[in-house]
Structure 1
């Protein structure tokens, strides 16, 4: 069942510690399923492209999905796509979840496989696009990244479904906030939407409709340009129920 309009959930979270498995899906991933409107067993596919399609991560995701009760699959692109019809598979899903890692490498690999166009059609068809860190930045025009080395840099060639910049891990990595402010102030990034760890931003079409959180005391932020400086506005997230 597709969402009633194009939907993106862009996050800096989604996981929690577990006892029997490496981790479990936290409230943000469950919220992505809720946004899809599905009433059956959720169909969720996971892309670990940004971390080089490491199979151990895919296996851990399968275990977390079993606990959550999802109909789950991994979509790998290394060393070759593990499915013949990528677009057909993605169109059958309720949620696409993109994991973190190198957003620069993710974007390059996706474009080689023409997934930039595929994802636009999948998004427009109502499949919820969601993800964490690199899997958040990719949907925007760009953001801040350590894809090129320990020193954070701008990435500006995101898919651009959302006409904003994106700042992830806004409270947990000290260099993120000042770099976002610098890049917005000098015009490298447009108005930029940022998330503390554990926070997600919900978009219907290209409109930001809500901030949500799986942790207490966290925030979302909009950084915009006024003259030659950046101005930050806090958005208070709605606390999600812990699954």
Structure 2
């Protein structure tokens, strides 16, 4: 079995839905989660999740940790700017990732299906992909020197792909998504598993529908036995699946 660890820094008041994210993370027993936060974590001891590790530290301490990895002065004034640093977590947290085959990051406003099963079903390990994912809510990378330093290879391509420009600017470049790290991976011809394997729910509606849908076409439910599942209406046919 491959070892995977997801790195999640979260600073400031935790959202009300955070416990639900943790429940879905706990069910991913083959995935380890490392969560950095400045909030009280005692309340989550009742979860008793062996695959979730919390580390308490201030945002300033995390900034110092990130700064220690670079020989120029970085810009990291707010937690939101961490979006641009996500693709460098393999480099920044290399000590915390020793012994792991893959690393990644994910947001906390998501409900997770069975990540490991999904990767196996799509031959992620068998085909030796270097990366899964396109958007910032969930990505997984091969834990290798080449992949962990790939974010540095955009220098000289254009301003938005040069990590030095990105890490010294207060502006958010969305470096973790399609117009950032994706272009660098493509330029280096790294194998990637990429397709839409998630539902992006429009929270402005009470009923479950994705952005751009005029009517609900799915229903979600949770059970201790199977975790998160959905019933989908696809081309007039009903399909039950477990979302990623």
Question: TM-score, normalising length from structure 1?
Answer: 0.34
Give the number of the structure with larger relative contact order, counting CA–CA contacts within 8 Å between residues 6 or more apart: 1
Larger Rg: 2
Query: Which is richer in strand?
Result: 1
